[in-house]
Amino acid sequence: MCISNRVADPRKTEAGGLAVALSGALQANGGMWFGWSGKILPEDGATPADTPVHQQQAGNVTLATLDLSRWDHDAYYLGYSNAVLWPVFHYRLDLADFDTGYIDGYRRVNQLFAAKLMPLLKEDDIVWVHDYHLIPLASELRALGCRNKIGFFLHIPLPPAQIFTAIPAHDWLAQALFAYDLVGFQSEADLEHFNRYVATEARAEDRDGDGRRWRAFGRTLRTAAFPIGIDVAEFDALTHAHDATEMYRRMREEYSRRQLLVGVDRLDYSKGLPQRLRAFRELLRRHPDNIRRATLIQIAAPSREDVDAYGDILRELESLAGSMNGDFGELDWIPVRYMHRTMARKRLPGLYRAARVALVTPLRDGMNLVAKEFVAAQDPEDPGVLVLSRFAGAMEQMREGAVLVNPYDSQATADAIQFALQLPLAERRRRHQTLMATIRRCDVHWWCQAFLDELASADAEQTGPDWL
Ligand code: ADQ
């Protein structure tokens, strides 16, 4: 049983790492996916307690969804999840909107989810909760008497205690995590942040002295890093199917005498898009051999447009792309092709494969699946190069084959892009092979199995009654 804020039909495609990853994992294993339908009820105030759960079958996955009232959606999703937890977990205290009462809506919706989920749970079901929207879900389930094994995976980064403790309810969130049997993170860095927090702030006892089993609030919690991967076989099939091949052919034709660079992201301030454009401008200034030669295609999928900070980043990007094209463009060449849209998933690998360099330069990212997709889509005989931020979770696994950058340093990033553009074929192949070995070994099926195996082996003592 998987639970996430938003349920997506695994047979359709969406921009969003969690939807893509969960679809792959659930389709392989079967089970139920429970969460919000994406629909808003017309009612004023809180979502009625008798709001129904709709169930439908999508392949071997049962989708169980409920609608939310506007009030609940705005406080729980736009408010506490995306205007408090998202910025703080991405180290952006300056963008967090603490003083609002959103937390009441967050708590209310987690209680509602627990109440609706409880009757659907069978005794031996394993419950896997996903992401920051649902941190208190296990504690609400435990309060209703749930004894099932419950795991939690955080798809976004966990900041150091110095930042996490700025959240007014940080101790409540930390205690809520102890209602789980296993909490998984994307990277060893996130895991270290959590371990340090629970050791110092929650005075948890490190059971085995290795930071993997913590005792606090009368419960034992396992923690580990499980870096999420992609479905390599599925992506390979997409890469060689008609739409992507056609896209590849068109791009190669259009850019036959030019170097193509590509960026593909949700439009989000964590993705470092203005910094990326500035680094590209620096590339043109510092390495003018790229003028009339290099083009950056940046695709930014619309995302959370009702949250203020997202409107600001949209305007900044539009103005930067416009001024760069005005300053550097020629009649037959523009440096930046910026598109504010979602690209069809079936065409994406063709674009990746046609690019000599991908710029994956977030200021902070839990993992970043685009980095892995780009590598997987390459022609092994003539592969492109990944320029990767040291602040993406993917860095821990990909530091060997990628060209690492600090996205805050636009000049050094520009030099690194130039280095990537000029790498000889043998070196590109070597780096590609190194990266592919990791991407294959730690794919989405490995991620799913590793998490579920660890959860299945969690101690029986964790389901003790002292939580209540
Ligand atoms: P996201 O922040 O959504 O996910 P990411 O890992 O980059 O980020 O995944 C994005 C997915 O959406 C990829 O599959 C990508 O192909 C697709 N996508 C992005 N922009 C697109 C566009 N413009 N057009 C079409 N498709 C697009 C969160 C965390 C990440 C973590 C994932 C999974 O923020 O750090 O890697 O969950 O755990």
Looking from the CA of residue 371, the nearest atom of ligand 1 is: 7
Looking at residue 53, its pLDDT comes to 97
Taken in order 423, 426, 432, 435, the sign of the CA dihedral is negative
Q: Given a cut of 70, is residue 25 above it in pLDDT?
A: no
Dist. CA 367 → ligand 1 center (Å) = 9
In the sheet with 127-130, reading across from the earlier edge strand, the strands are 54-58, 61-69, 31-41, 2-6, 127-130, 150-153, 182-185, 219-225, 213-216, 205-206
* pLDDT one-digit tens code per residue, 390-403: 999 999 999 999 99
Dist. CA 14 → ligand 1 center (Å) = 9
Which of 328, 283, 95, 326 lies closest to 275, judged by CA? 283
* pLDDT one-digit tens code per residue, 150-188: 999 999 999 999 999 999 999 999 999 999 999 999 999
Mean of the per-residue pLDDT values of the chain: 93
Q: What positions carry a catalytic annotation?
A: 155, 365
Report whether residue 61 contacts ligand 1, using a CB cutoff of 6 Å. no
| pLDDT band at residue 310 under the 50/70/90 scheme | confident
Atom 20 of ligand 1, residue of closest alpha carbon: 265
Q: Give the residue carrying structure tokens 């000029």.
A: 422
Strands (E), 27-169: 31-41, 54-58, 61-69, 127-130, 150-153
Atom 33 of ligand 1, residue of closest alpha carbon: 17
Q: pTM for this structure?
A: 0.95
Report whether residue 15 contacts ligand 1, using a CB cutoff of 6 Å. yes
Looking from the CA of residue 153, the nearest atom of ligand 1 is: 38
- Give the residue, out of 132, 226, 264, with the most ligand 1 atoms within 8 A of its beta carbon, to mutate for a pocket test: 264
Share of the chain above pLDDT 90, in %: 85
Which of 4, 1, 133, 113 lies closest to 68, judged by CA? 113
Looking at residue 399, its pLDDT comes to 97
Q: What residues are paired with 294 via a beta bridge?
A: 259
Report whether residue 228 contacts ligand 1, using a CB cutoff of 6 Å. yes
* pLDDT one-digit tens code per residue, 370-381: 999 999 999 999
| pLDDT band at residue 465 under the 50/70/90 scheme | very low
Label residue 399 left, alpha or beta by phi (over 0 means left) and psi (-120 to 50 means alpha).
alpha
Q: What is the DSSP code string of 200-247?
A: HTS--EETTSSSSEEEETTEEEEEEE------HHHHHHHHHSHHHHHH
Looking at residue 15, its pLDDT comes to 47
Rounded Cα distance between 441 and 343, Å, is 27
Question: Cβ(8)–Cβ(14) under 8 Å?
Answer: yes
Dist. CA 17 → ligand 1 center (Å) = 4
Dist. CA 186 → ligand 1 center (Å) = 14
| pLDDT band at residue 60 under the 50/70/90 scheme | confident
Rounded Cα distance between 268 and 247, Å, is 26
- Give the residue, out of 85, 232, 369, with the most ligand 1 atoms within 8 A of its beta carbon, to mutate for a pocket test: 369
Query: What is the mean pLDDT of the segment spanning 190-196?
Result: 97
Looking at residue 278, its pLDDT comes to 98
* ipTM topping 0.90: yes
Taken in order 379, 382, 383, 384, the sign of the CA dihedral is negative
Residues near 122 by beta carbon (within 8 Å), at least 6 away in sequence: none
Q: Is 200 exposed, middle or buried (0-12, 13-18, 19+ CB in 10 A)?
A: exposed
Looking at residue 460, its pLDDT comes to 60
Taken in order 343, 345, 349, 352, the sign of the CA dihedral is positive
Looking at residue 26, its pLDDT comes to 77
Please state which of the ranges 10-19, 75-84, 132-141, 446-455 shows the lowest mean pLDDT: 10-19
- Give the residue, out of 367, 388, 389, with the most ligand 1 atoms within 8 A of its beta carbon, to mutate for a pocket test: 367
In the sheet with 336-339, reading across from the earlier edge strand, the strands are 336-339, 294-301, 259-266, 357-360, 385-389, 403-405
Report whether residue 131 contacts ligand 1, using a CB cutoff of 6 Å. no
Angle separating helix axes 273-286 and 410-421, nearest 10 degrees: 70
Rounded Cα distance between 65 and 57, Å, is 12
